Structure 1
Amino acid sequence: MKRFSLRYLLLTSRFEQIWFPLAFWALFVIIAFLRGPEYIVDTTRAYLGAVIPLGGGILAAYAVLEDPALELRFATPVTSLQTLLERLVPTFLVQTLFALTYQLFAVAFGADFAPIYATWGSLQLAWLVPTLALMALGCFSAMLATRATTGALLAGMVWLVQLVARSWFAENEIGKYLLVFMSSFMLDHPALRANQLVLGAVSLAFFLASWALLQRQERYI
């Protein structure tokens, strides 16, 4: 098995993985200044709960298939799991970086999350659960369709539909377990913990399915 190569990762990574989330981070910093300190908590919730997950889903769809040296990589002794991890982990770490730095900015701007998020962990779950869910969906659908744009489009469609119809999903007997925004905006929902567990399991299943699909390298050549 070939060892992890940071040099290769940096040379073949697409700059969209950095500037795309950076642009949204900067936009919401500007929005925070325009709205003022009295709305910083709401602005932060919107950024963490909606923007970070959407960015993660779109970038995960492009992470593997848009590798400019993917065919050459298939010719080297690198496992499918290593390929998947080397592409998805940096995407996740970038989203994590921007999520945490925006929280620091919000606190410095006067945000008090205690009345809404009882613990630091619940604040992190507000973006972590939907981000992993949409990343898994974006990656899997891209691998299944062998097109990165398909994965990004599907992740975006699920994001939009659930965001607009989140009340319906929250009240539906099945939909409440699949609502990616429950951890972000419905902390008092009785099915919150079950929702987080189900989404965690679904995310893991999608990542494992992506791994299985990537082992069929002839589909992507």
Structure 2
Amino acid sequence: MKSFKKIVKLFYKTASRCLQNIQDMDYSSASKKANVKIKQCKMIITSDENASSEAKYVALIFGIYFRGIEELSEISSIVSSMDWITRPKDVQRVWFLLQNCIERFESVLPALNFPKDVRFFIEITLRDVSTQIETAYGKGMYVSPEVVIEECICSICNQDPRTCSHIENHVYNGKICRIVPTKIKPGFGGVVMTQNPKDKRCRMWPFDAKEDSDGKGLTVSNVPILISFRIDDFLD
């Protein structure tokens, strides 16, 4: 294994090259470079017995970052087409990836010592895509399952997340903060429609709506209710 400092230097160098590739519209190169680094990060975390806890922490941060770069490359590739916003499958795919990227980058960018223009480029790119979708389809309606969680704890400090200082999905000392339910009320309360869901991936789209045969209502199909997503899913 190369020295820890050299690995970190290479991570930063590749991160810069990936963003340059995206700016140059060379999305395939950006994705390939990111994928190579994702595999390296996974190896450090799961297979390298000599890796220190600091090395694994850095690998986790960069693994999440490069996974976001992979998805940002795909988003950029799709939206480079002038009429992508009119194609339902592309809109749904971009929306799903957009939520992934937002969660990944929000969790790791504060921990990475990137120049301000790097963070600005990522944020403005995601914001522009989100604006295009909102302009075409509005803010959207979402479905959300009604589950009553009576008690939960923060995975970092084991305290009530309403009173602790940790932020969900952010990384602290190599661990990802998660809200862990410890007591859930039995039974299922059903599904509600809302403009402020827990997970924006569960969105209803007008192109999936069909008028009922009696003309008195609409039926919306293909709406996800529960999504299994982790910012560190590159470790799977």
User: Given the two structures, how large is their TM-score scaled by the length of structure 2?
Assistant: 0.30
Relative to total residues, which structure has the larger helix share, 1 or 2?
1
Relative to total residues, which structure has the larger strand share, 1 or 2?
2
In our comparison, the structure showing a higher alpha carbon Rg is: 2
Point out which structure has higher relative CO (alpha carbons under 8 A, 6+ apart): 1
User: Given the two structures, how large is their TM-score scaled by the length of structure 1?
Assistant: 0.32
